[in-house]
Amino acid sequence: MPAPKDSQKIETWKHNLSVAHKGCLPWNKGIRMSEDFRLKMRKISLEFWSNPKNAEKIKMRNVKVSKSKIGDKNPMKRLEIRKKHSEQMMGKLVGNKNPFEKPEVRKKISEALKGHAVLPEIRKKLSTSLMGKLVGELNPFYGKHHSKEVREKSRVRAINQITSGQLRNKRTSIESKILEELKNHGMNFLEQCPLENITVADFYLPQHRIVIYCDGSFWHKGEWAYKNDVVEKDRKQKITLENLGYKVFRFDEEKINESLTKCLNEVENYILTNNL
């Protein structure tokens, strides 16, 4: 039965269709497509997407669908849909249940892949997919670097955007751990808080003027961080804030993963020692 064109009847049609198929096994369960069929489908797909007219049609359709979901039209704004989605995700490997979020698992995978050679056919496939794209020396910015003035302007602009709410930082896994620990200790804090127009603190305890940073190993401690003067910048930033009367704690990734309790104990001991 084809879908009705009436927008008011489409939801009822979807519901009835869902109920009718509930408990039924999909027709293709356990069936694997043959190699010839997969190659044929790949060829058809490439021909379809290589046609600019088709690409433009898909683009316009995506824009139309996106606009149809804005505001109250977004199904995730409805409580019953969010509840249904939440129930569907129960028991799945998301958040802390995902083994790949564990540092020991990620480290084990990283060590297993060290020295792993990429197969020639995979290299060729990657090379083909990048043909005609502005990568490597074809990129007009290749070999160039932003000046210190431009980097400083970009940094200040990002701080202003965060202050105004135009830009939101994605919380890292170690930030999430410190966040939960701060809540467990009943501390009042601000997250992603701009300070003195020079930095955005991961966490700020205004009552005690305490600043907490969660430093990822790659971005703040590794070879890339030293090469790009991030380590020196963090050191100067800490000195500047402490001269302005703040107490700065920089907890690196290894320390946070080793013991959250030790990290928060340092903060609490400082508060007790200084009678804050």
Domain map of the chain by residue range? 170-273
Measured distance CA(270)–CA(187) in Å, rounded:
14
Q: If residue 83 lies in a helix (H) or strand (E), which one and from where to where?
A: helix 79-89
Are 276 and 208 within 8 A, CB to CB? yes
Question: What order of strands is seen across the sheet that includes strand 247-252?
Answer: 190-195, 199-205, 210-215, 247-252
Question: Coil, strand, or helix at residue 200?
Answer: strand
Binned average pLDDT, 10 residues per bin, the chain of 276 residues: 71 81 78 85 86 84 80 76 79 73 81 81 83 77 82 79 66 87 89 85 92 89 83 90 93 89 90 81
Q: How many CB atoms lie within 10 A of CB 13?
A: 14
Residue in the structure block whose two tokens are 């903060």: 267
Residue in the structure block whose two tokens are 């799945």: 92
pLDDT at res. 222: 82
pLDDT at res. 212: 95
Q: For 191, list phi and psi in degrees, rounded to 5.
A: -105, 140
**pLDDT tens-place string over residues 157-206:** 877 777 666 666 677 888 888 998 898 888 899 888 888 888 888 999 99
Q: How many CB atoms lie within 10 A of CB 183?
A: 10
Measured distance CA(63)–CA(140) in Å, rounded:
30
Burial class (CB in 10 A: 0-12, 13-18, 19+), 73: exposed
User: In this structure, which topology does domain 170-273 adopt according to CATH?
Assistant: Endonuclease; Chain A (3.40.960)
